[in-house]
Amino acid sequence: MDFCVYYENEKTAEVHTDENRAYIKRFTTHPAKQIFYADEMPLYQLGEIFRSRCWDEKRPDLKKLLALIGLDEYDVYKIVKKTHGLMCQDKIWFLFDGEDLVWETVKVNAAEKST
């Protein structure tokens, strides 16, 4: 899985993964714009970063939230791919290979799904 990390429309990192590790090319170390603290990490750590950008697995309305994004099971990778890892407390989001999106589209789509 390869993807880029953005803060609004500013690319802050590129991530390439293999079977065991994630390799990160950071374009900024600004703490509000960057979620990676290293240039390389085990996939487990990347999974934990993804998990931190998902809903709590024990939410009582989880099935409803999953249905809103077209999923029927809790899978952090699928959730982040659908939500782009967007959270209400920051402007960081993920752009996956093959996608052609900008911040304005991502934030509008997220707002529509939350209503």
49-98 pLDDT, tens digit per residue, is: 999 999 999 999 999 999 999 999 999 999 999 999 999 889 999 999 99
Per-residue pLDDT band at 110 (split at 50, 70, 90): low
| Local structure of 71: helix, strand or coil | coil
Cβ atoms of residues 92 and 30 within 8 Å: no
Domain count, the chain: 1
What is the extent of the structural domain holding 15?
Answer: 3-113
pLDDT tens, position by position, 23-58: 999 999 999 999 999 999 999 999 999 999 999 999
Q: Which pLDDT belongs to residue 111?
A: 60
pTM: 0.90
Q: Which tokens go with 40?
A: 């390389």
